Structure 1
Amino acid sequence: MHQPFTLHRVASTPACGIGLLLTALAWPAAIHASIAVAPMPRQVDVTDSLDLTLLVFEDGQAGTPPHSLEASLTANPQEPVKIILNRVADPPAVPGQPRKVRYSGVVPPTVRGEVRLELLELDVAPMMIGLARRTDAEPVPLPVVSEATVATTAVVEPPPTGATRAPQENPAALSRLSFHDPVYFAVGVNGREYTQFQFSLKFRLFEPDTPQSRSLLDNLYVGYTQSALMDLAADSYPIHDSLYNPSVYYYLPDTGLNAGWLTRTSLAAGYEHESNGEDEADSRALEMLFVKPTFYLGDPADWHWTFSPKLYYYAKKGDYNQDIEDYRGYGDYRLTFGHPQSLELAATMRAGTQSYASGKLEVTYPLAQWVPSMMGYLYLSYFDGWGETLIDYNRRSNAQFRIGYSLWR
């Protein structure tokens, strides 16, 4: 009796795209062979076709690879698109190496960016992949409709009118949503306004044709940060002050600038608003234009330094904080040292034009080092100086030590 084939895992990069999905396929029992998936390029370009290669090992087991692979691609909010990757001509065999079997299929031009991939008629969990398209490619003429082309690509029909449809998440939208500034909740031990929390998110407005795009719209983000100081020692836990900080900005995670120890440089530049949402004499507000490069020194995947000077221009100031540059100055300077899977130290410094200054030191350590299934970080912070909150921009705060939980650092 024949034994089912064994699917071997071939070493590949983390972004090997569709190549990874085939390592989990549950092939029909009629197939008997040792097959693996050849590593895919980091960027999967599908302007012409979507290609992949299987490796067939000569291990004495009988059987042949399948003639086609069927899948469904969903780039929300569009309807799912069904594609079939058909077997094409194999490359020449090389003695002593596994035989290569190639597949290729056409992906409709509307499918791009973060795409939900499902293997039809197979018990395989759906996954997200990245599809890129060359912007310099000439338009591809529509193929002649024939029995073969109709079988290659087809749009999955929507359910009949009135049919019940299970609610779905929007993976394309979720893929554009990410953390922005640090997210944490920390309790302090000195002074009345001792509990601080902050959450911060950003959203990418447009999906680029290629990950390397540097155009304005392809790299345009909307950010939002909100923080507050609470007095848990008082009745009803009043909020001492809140900060509302929306922004619109251009962001490149890698500008291509590197030399020696400088391994990467990112850049953010745009507009942001800060206010505390109060009226009359308690109102504080700012409109700012800013530029923020981040310089990475050392391997970002290992122990390394970063330096992030955020320089800003006050386009408009509220009536009750006209002299804020005396206490805040025109920039925030953040320096970090750490490891992505270990300890990180971060210091943020600010100096006003009239010799007023403030500083904040933050220490984070991944909780997964102690509890493997837990997400987030142990969070410690120490603040000393002027203007920990916007309402107190011209008041010296008590030195404050806090401890808590951070979801993002």
Structure 2
Amino acid sequence: MSSTEDLESQCVLTLYQTGHDALTLKEIKSHCSKALKSSGSEKYEQAAEETEVLLGGISNRIMSERKTEFNPYVITPHKMNYILPAWKTNAINRQTYRSLQGYEENLEDTEAKFQLSLKVPLNTDSMFVEGDGLYLGFTLEAWWQIYANNISKPFRETNYQPELFYIAPLPWHPLGGNTGFVVGIEHQSNGRGQIFSRSWNRVYSHFLFEKENFALSIKPWVRIEEDRKLSPQDSDGDDNPDIEDYLGHFELAMVYRWNDLEFNIRGRQNHHTHNGALEMGITFPLWGKLRGYATGFTGYGESLIDYNYKQTRVGIGISLNSVL
């Protein structure tokens, strides 16, 4: 056996003993081969260290998804998919609906909410760096007045969010963790017209950091400006020119997984107006693939129709997937 083959065998054995359980033999051999080619014949131990660094919560999810994301019978989740049968607010936004006679006064403070979110990969091989990807994503959120008796239990609000984004790892491992970035463009709209229409477009980026069961995301964005409306009834123009005053210019999110529990927190703020929002949640095992989901929200922008309305909400329900 040659010296190189011997080192590669030792590398494979080391990763087998110290690497993550999610690694396949093919992945272990591939990583060792690349590490030895790039570093010569010394320090095969570095391969094990680098592989362990890459196996944080985000990386594990990406590795798991890529095994099935081109299977036509598998839908790949993007954000969380959940239903909250009880989503209660301290005060429903009635003022927005004051022009609808008989609607405003019959809205209930407790409603149901659900979110469906999926993504589709657009590249089969790496594009610019190893492990990167281009995706088309779509997220739908709906608020359902299922407990309203004197109106026909309508969907009070529905938000649609298509987006195109690129994700790639970075060769930087602070504190023994892993980093990456995302750049994308997205549209968000409630699909309604005239005085009830809300929408905006933005270009965003993510800085991602992970270490073991912890993940952090910093997401700044820039809104794509639109022409102003001459009157509220105009079909063209900006439906909500002051939306950034309430939703801010960036979002900070953190996730931590402890045993079978996953805790997440997400906050955003405009430093000039001091408006923003804070959202917290926890998922826990329930039955089979289903997970329990308890969450709370306070601030502005819980939905597009409520972007300039401050409220506090709590809810409990079922999630099909967690963040990590």
> Do they fold alike, i.e. is TM over 0.5?
yes
Asked if structure 1 preserves the Cα contact closer than 8 Å seen for 2:69 and 2:75, the reply is no
User: Which has more radius of gyration?
Assistant: 1
Report the secondary structure of 2:313's partner residue: strand
Q: Could you list the per-position Cα deviations for residues 230-282 of structure 1 after superposition, in whole angstroms to 9, with x for gaps in the alignment?
A: 11111432111111000011112x32321224x11132111100010010111
Report the secondary structure of 1:281's partner residue: helix
Asked if structure 2 preserves the Cα contact closer than 8 Å seen for 1:176 and 1:204, the reply is no
Q: Does 1:182 align with 2:76?
A: no
Alpha-carbon separation, structure 2, partners of 1:382 and 1:393? 17
- Paired residues, what number? 239
Alpha-carbon separation, structure 1, partners of 2:22 and 2:179? 22
Identical aligned residues as a percent:
26
Q: Go from structure 1 to structure 2 and tell me whether the alpha carbon gap of 1:174 and 1:221 turns closer, same or farther (over 3 Å shift).
A: same
Alpha-carbon separation, structure 2, partners of 1:225 and 1:345? 21
Task: Give the CA deviation at 1:354.
Answer: 1.1
Report the secondary structure of 1:325's partner residue: helix
Report the secondary structure of 1:207's partner residue: coil
Q: Go from structure 1 to structure 2 and tell me whether the alpha carbon gap of 1:258 and 1:218 turns closer, same or farther (over 3 Å shift).
A: closer
Asked if structure 1 preserves the Cα contact closer than 8 Å seen for 2:111 and 2:144, the reply is yes
Of the three residues 311, 320, 328, the one matched with 2:220 is 311
- Segments of structure 2 that go 5 or more residues without pairing to the other structure are 1-12, 32-65, 92-108, 227-236
Q: Go from structure 1 to structure 2 and tell me whether the alpha carbon gap of 1:345 and 1:204 turns closer, same or farther (over 3 Å shift).
A: same
Task: Give the CA deviation at 1:378.
Answer: 0.6
Asked if structure 2 preserves the Cα contact closer than 8 Å seen for 1:348 and 1:359, the reply is yes
Of the three residues 153, 164, 168, the one matched with 1:237 is 153
Alpha-carbon separation, structure 2, partners of 1:391 and 1:174? 35
Q: For residue 191 of structure 2, what is the aligned residue in structure 1?
A: 277
Q: Go from structure 1 to structure 2 and tell me whether the alpha carbon gap of 1:403 and 1:216 turns closer, same or farther (over 3 Å shift).
A: same
Of the three residues 312, 324, 335, the one matched with 2:254 is 335
Q: Report the TM-score, using the length of structure 1 for normalisation.
A: 0.53
Amino acid at match of 1:236: S
The within-5 A match list for 1:29-178 is: 40-42=26-28, 172-174=70-72, 177-178=75-76
Asked if structure 1 preserves the Cα contact closer than 8 Å seen for 2:132 and 2:167, the reply is no
Q: Does 1:365 align with 2:284?
A: yes
Task: Give the CA deviation at 1:183.
Answer: 0.9
Amino acid at match of 2:152: S
Asked if structure 2 preserves the Cα contact closer than 8 Å seen for 1:206 and 1:218, the reply is no
Q: Go from structure 1 to structure 2 and tell me whether the alpha carbon gap of 1:175 and 1:236 turns closer, same or farther (over 3 Å shift).
A: same
What do you get for the CA RMSD once the two structures are aligned? 2.9
Q: For residue 41 of structure 2, what is the aligned residue in structure 1?
A: none
Q: Does 1:406 align with 2:316?
A: no
Task: Give the CA deviation at 1:194.
Answer: 2.8
Alpha-carbon separation, structure 2, partners of 1:294 and 1:274? 23
Q: For residue 197 of structure 1, what is the aligned residue in structure 2?
A: 114
Asked if structure 2 preserves the Cα contact closer than 8 Å seen for 1:226 and 1:243, the reply is yes
Alpha-carbon separation, structure 1, partners of 2:28 and 2:22? 8
- Segments of structure 1 that go 5 or more residues without pairing to the other structure are 1-9, 17-38, 46-128, 131-169
Higher relative contact order (CA 8 A, sep 6+): 2
Amino acid at match of 1:384: T
Q: Go from structure 1 to structure 2 and tell me whether the alpha carbon gap of 1:393 and 1:44 turns closer, same or farther (over 3 Å shift).
A: same
Q: Could you list the per-position Cα deviations for residues 311-339 of structure 1 after superposition, in whole angstroms to 9, with x for gaps in the alignment?
A: 11001355221011111110111122223
Q: Could you list the per-position Cα deviations for residues 334-393 of structure 1 after superposition, in whole angstroms to 9, with x for gaps in the alignment?
A: 122223x511111111113312221111111122xxx4xx00311001111112110111
Q: Go from structure 1 to structure 2 and tell me whether the alpha carbon gap of 1:40 and 1:223 turns closer, same or farther (over 3 Å shift).
A: closer
Q: For residue 257 of structure 1, what is the aligned residue in structure 2?
A: 172
Report the secondary structure of 2:175's partner residue: coil
Q: For residue 350 of structure 1, what is the aligned residue in structure 2?
A: 268
Q: Could you list the per-position Cα deviations for residues 210-247 of structure 1 after superposition, in whole angstroms to 9, with x for gaps in the alignment?
A: 6xx53599621100001011111114321111110000
Q: Go from structure 1 to structure 2 and tell me whether the alpha carbon gap of 1:43 and 1:200 turns closer, same or farther (over 3 Å shift).
A: farther
Q: Go from structure 1 to structure 2 and tell me whether the alpha carbon gap of 1:260 and 1:185 turns closer, same or farther (over 3 Å shift).
A: same
Alpha-carbon separation, structure 2, partners of 1:171 and 1:221? 11
Alpha-carbon separation, structure 1, partners of 2:202 and 2:174? 31
Report the secondary structure of 2:70's partner residue: helix
Alpha-carbon separation, structure 2, partners of 1:325 and 1:189? 25
Asked if structure 2 preserves the Cα contact closer than 8 Å seen for 1:216 and 1:250, the reply is no
Q: Go from structure 1 to structure 2 and tell me whether the alpha carbon gap of 1:43 and 1:219 turns closer, same or farther (over 3 Å shift).
A: farther
Q: Go from structure 1 to structure 2 and tell me whether the alpha carbon gap of 1:221 and 1:40 turns closer, same or farther (over 3 Å shift).
A: closer
Q: For residue 290 of structure 2, what is the aligned residue in structure 1?
A: 376
Q: Does 1:326 align with 2:225?
A: no
